[in-house]
Structure 1
Amino acid sequence: MPRFEPSEARGGPLVRGFADGQFVVDGTRYRSVVLTPEQATQWDAPPTGDLAIEHLEAALALQPPPEFILLGTGPTLTHPPRALARALQERGVGIEAMDSRAAARTWAVLRAEERWIAAALMPL
């Protein structure tokens, strides 16, 4: 199982590796997952093109709201619908899309910096 270890300055759940097409988050495997500084939650991710603000409610429930959401779009970068980006912008939340492996690594780096963010990682 490939592993990467972020900085020791940690906050919240961490993706410790990838196995069998799943994310390994602190010993639990997820096909797709929402990460907040407080918890990891199984996510029934829709196809990227169908993604709407309702699908990100677990990430948006964070108080205060996250600065932005890291969106892992699966094995390759796929841009999210513009309507989603607008809806998030109206709430004062940004979105950064990248492939899911890159998003998992970026999550670890930004949480080590204690950034108040959320991540939604689609299946690998």
Structure 2
Amino acid sequence: MKFQLDQPQGGNTISRHDGRSVWVNGTEHRSSLLVPWQGTVQAWDLPRFEDLTEAHFERIRDLKPELVIFGSGSRIRFARPQLYRALIDARIGMETMDLGAACRTYNVLASEGRAVLAALMIEG
């Protein structure tokens, strides 16, 4: 049986992560970022989990994904629901994982053609 790696057509792919950096489409990122299934990877001004605000999730809502994979850093930490109320009201699903699991899950969903966005917190 022949196996082929599915690559999203024109989409973003996370190729590597090490806790301090994430590589998207071969480019290294050393600070928190938003990785949409298609389009431009964006810086996400989030140096620490404790700095999360509603505005962080409103920005994600405006990108109109169907699902958000929130990589909460080196360990799994859950944001208070009132912070991501904008996603709930827009009927956008959110799953929280540690950074590594978020990167892997994003790649699987993006390769399936899903409108997924990885919101990845990279702690300095």
TM-score, normalised on structure 1? 0.81
The number of equivalent residue pairs is 117
SS of equivalent residue, structure 2 residue 119: strand
Cα distance between partner residues in 2 of 1:58 and 1:14: 21
The one-letter code sitting in structure 2 at the alignment partner of 1:60 is R
1:56-88 Cα shifts (integer Å, max 9, x gaps):
3443232xx211211000001001112124331
Gaps (5+ residues) in structure 1? 1-5
The one-letter code sitting in structure 2 at the alignment partner of 1:56 is F
Cα distance between partner residues in 2 of 1:26 and 1:53: 29
User: Is 2:50 the partner of 1:53?
Assistant: no
Deviation at 1:20, TM superposition (A): 7.3
Cα distance between partner residues in 2 of 1:20 and 1:82: 25
Deviation larger for 19-28 or 106-115: 19-28
Relative to 1, partners in 2 of residues 1:17 and 1:87: Cα closer, same or farther, differing over 3 Å? same
User: Is 2:6 the partner of 1:8?
Assistant: yes
Relative to 1, partners in 2 of residues 1:83 and 1:58: Cα closer, same or farther, differing over 3 Å? closer
Cα distance between partner residues in 1 of 2:94 and 2:5: 24
Deviation larger for 83-92 or 50-59: 50-59
Q: Percent identity?
A: 32
User: Is 2:72 the partner of 1:73?
Assistant: yes
Cα distance between partner residues in 2 of 1:99 and 1:48: 12
TM-score, normalised on structure 2? 0.81
1:1-124 pair list within 5 angstroms: 7-11=5-9, 12-19=11-18, 21-31=20-30, 32-37=32-37, 38-62=39-63, 65-123=64-122
Cα distance between partner residues in 1 of 2:62 and 2:84: 17
- Which of the pair has more CA radius of gyration? 2
